[in-house]
Each structure stands twice: as structure tokens, then as C-alpha cells.
Amino acid sequence: MFYDFAPQSRFLLGTAGYPSPAILQQAIAASGTDIITVSLRREGAAGAAFRELLTGLDIRVLPNTAGCHTVKEAVTTAQMARELFNTSWIKLEVIGHADTLQPDPFALVEAARILCADGFQVFPYTTEDLIVGEKLLEAGCELLMPWGAPIGSGQGLRNIEGLRAMRAWFSDIPLIIDAGIGAPSQAAQAMEMGFDGILLNTAVAKAGDPVGMANGFRLAIEAGQAARSAGLMEKRDMAAASTPIFGLASLS
């Protein structure tokens, strides 16, 4: 459950950078997603035509504050997005480092507190830091979106142990991996670890075949979730024969 919405798919898909609106539409359909993210800057560049395309999809829109570097900028962008898309949902990004696009934890928490008090349902883009996570929840967020790796890097889950610790510590909080996923296998790995969803954009939009890649991610996320639900076998230090030695026929 993501706030007031129970998605059928655990795949959240970004809408920026596709070769054409037609390919974007096809990729969204192939992904099976219930939720798409939209940057207010992207909306501003495309205007009414892009908004009409989104409306025709009959799918939940998660506006984001991509590109914001200050609390004021993020809050203002969120307020504009609420008016434009008629939703209290906002993916909150407050970037603090130009090279890694790592969120500014201090500005992020402050902006989250302001927006939650104003009635927003905030999806905060954060790191795997447990203290920042606690502060975001105290600010009023009901879920967290830790990065796997820097935005658009395709590096996958760079800090496996940190993410495992976050999953264990926030056992009852929805956690969505946001940013850094570059291959379906990485998405499956995150789902096997118990994360509740995957948000990505670049790995699909910039693929040679975005529609095929969207389908590949859909299958991988479904497989990872199914494996987690079924119960993964534990790793062992030693080999364990699948066929027991006891009872084997002697052929000597």
C-alpha cells in the first residue's frame, strides 16, 4: 500500500527521455505499471499535449520535484504540481550534490515536514541512511525511497548491506528503490531482498528497445517478488547434496 493506493504492479516508471510519445505509451503499457512519475519541468516543456497524453492513459501520476536544490524551490514546485495534476502525491527530490545527485538530507527533511503539514503525501527520494529515514517518518512521510545508486548511473545496488539494514529496520514501512537500477537482474535482486517496489526511468527510456526493456523489467520485478514470497533458500558454507546418500543402491 502506497498511502491511499494499492498498486497491482510494483513497477513505477518515469516518463522522461523517450524517443517519442508513441514509444512512451507503448513502454508504459508493456511495463504493466500503475504509477508513472512526471517532472514538472518536463510537463512545462511539453505543455498541454503531454498532459493530454497522460490523461488518456488513465494511470496514477506521481509528480516530482526533479532538479530542485533548495527547500523553497522544492516546496514551490510541489505546490504547482498539485494544482496542475490535481493530486496530493509528490515525489520529493532536494538535490545536494551536483555530481552524484545525492539528496541533501537536511533540506529534504525540512521540505518533507512543510509539505506533509500542507496535506501532501510525500514520496521522499533519500539514501539508505537510517537516521534520515527516521527523521522523514517523523516529518510525516509514510514510505521511503532509498537510492540504489546515483540517478541514471545504472550501477544497481551499490550498498547491499546498508539496504538490507534499512529493510530490516523499517520492517513495516513501504520501501521503494529509486535511482541507479540499470538492468532487470538488479531490480529482481532488490525485490528478493524484500523491497516493495522499483522506480526507474533511464534504463527503459534510453534502451535500444524501450518497449522490450519495459517488459523485461516487469518480468524481473514480478519474478523477484514471487521468489521473496515463496521463500528463498538460505546460503550455506558447504555443499549439500540434493539426493541423500542414505538408501543409494550399491553398484560395486
Given the residues 72, 91, 135, 235, the one annotated as active site:
91
The number of C-alpha atoms within 13 Å of 239 and in the hemisphere containing its C-beta is: 4
CB 28 within 8 A of CB 57: yes
202 marked as part of a ligand binding site? yes
CA gap 225, 229 in Å, rounded = 6
Q: Is 206 a catalytic residue?
A: no
Closest CA to 57 of 82, 79, 37: 37
152 marked as part of a ligand binding site? yes
Cell numbers given for 10: 510494483
Cα–Cα separations (whole angstroms), residue 185 to 127, 188, 220 = 21, 5, 7
133 marked as part of a ligand binding site? no
The catalytic site residues sit at 91
Residue ranges for the known binding site are 152, 179-180, 201-202
Residue ranges for the known binding site for 1-deoxy-D-xylulose 5-phosphate are 152, 179-180, 201-202
